[in-house]
Copies of this chain bind each other. A is one copy, B any other.
């Protein structure tokens, strides 16, 4: 069995490529070439029976939603409801970042009930097991970590965040660091703690070839995590972030040589004027690998509304070339999101993704055109159909079909009775 990447090298258009090309409206041959060059990946573990999802150049910008139990008082039913809510709201993928309860059972339930590609951060599982067993999150071995990765790959996990770029080389940089917020990635901090406590290299780096072999066998897409991403505007683009990015660039090459599909994760908190440069640098250093951004957040002070800040940063990042947006919920920086916050987070990220797609992809704007035609006719049912989320149009706009909403009434500029509309319709304006 070969991976999508290996098949693409051989010139084979797989059924997964066919399926992705069809929903994306691109030619299968073109998609195959992008996969062969590593500019696009297809998420679908061999054992899962889901529609494959393509991520990368020339494809619609995708949105990921994170769910997962907190360490204390985990409620798997609630997380499953969040996963379903994210799916219904239009998320393209899910990540299960559970920390509490029976992690394997939760993951399996989500995969059984939600037909979206599922991602994980496998080190969470071994860390939480170590915590339960020995009272500290670093009491796991390299073998245990690799075994957990293999288990998850066998179960059907479609993509995995692996913080392979957090190596012993960054420790001196960390000591010299003048960061405001240090390390804000749970995986990044964990691997640093592990390296210091064990006096050894990060197993995800030291045993990268073993990791690649697992990924290759199951066609799991590796998502090279940014464990040293900036967690504040002040820390963006600093030596720690850049050192990790350079390391990831090398690992992208090694993954590709091994026939493993790979994408790269990015920041984080980044001032608006630096977002484009960061995306371009990542794309260049990582040889065009699909870029998966966590935000980015162009301000640090929007707690409670970080989904809005992330929509600004995400739209800019995707316009600049990012391919995959990890949603941010209103609960970011505050706690565990509710089901409704998950839904809103997905919607906000989808808005950002669509804004960028309109700017970049031919055809993405057609839906906006249909929406605007419906709006011009005060065709409320048409507006609901074309809206990113039909819910608010159906529930909120209490307007008669073909008539104005309550805001303007007689002053409605769209009303067909108005003189200026007769002007337009008497001319060549109507289309």
Contacts and interface: CB of A to CB of B under 8 A. Distances in A.
A368 B429 contact: no
B351 A302 contact: yes
A301 interface: yes
Interface string A244-281: 00000000000000000000000001011100000000
Contact of A406 (B72, B177, B188): B72
A167 to B, nearest CB: 13
Contacts of A139: none
A364 to B, nearest CB: 9
A301 B386 contact: yes
A52 to B, nearest CB: 26
A308 B351 contact: yes
Nearest to A377: B181
Contacts of A409: 70-72, 99-100
A371 B72 contact: no
B420 A272 contact: no
A316 B383 CA distance: 26
Contacts of A235: 372
Nearest to A411: B186
A175 interface: yes
A408 interface: yes
Interface stretch (A42-50, A104-112, A152-160, A390-398): A390-398
Contact of A429 (B182, B232, B376): B182
Contacts of A418: 189, 193
A312 B319 CA distance: 12
Contacts of A413: 182-186, 188-190
Copies of this chain in its oligomeric complex: 2
A232 B375 contact: yes
Interface residues of A, number: 114
Contacts of A183: 413, 420
A73 to B, nearest CB: 8
Interface stretch (A4-12, A216-224, A331-339): A331-339
A303 B348 contact: no
Interface in A124-154: 124, 127-128, 131, 137-138
Given A99-B409, A175-B429, A176-B427, 15 more contacts: A70-B409, A99-B408, A138-B419, A174-B427, A178-B428, A182-B376, A192-B420, A193-B418, A196-B419, A233-B368, A272-B319, A272-B355, A299-B355, A301-B354, A305-B348
Interface of A: 70-72, 99-100, 124, 127-128, 131, 137-138, 171, 174-186, 188-190, 192-193, 196-197, 231-235, 269, 271-273, 298-305, 307-309, 311-312, 315-316, 319, 330-331, 333-336, 347-348, 351-352, 354-356, 358-359, 365, 367-369, 371-373, 375-376, 383, 386-389, 391-393, 396-399, 405-414, 418-421, 423-424, 426-429, 431
4 A-B pairs closest in CB distance: A304-B392, A232-B372, A175-B427, A71-B409
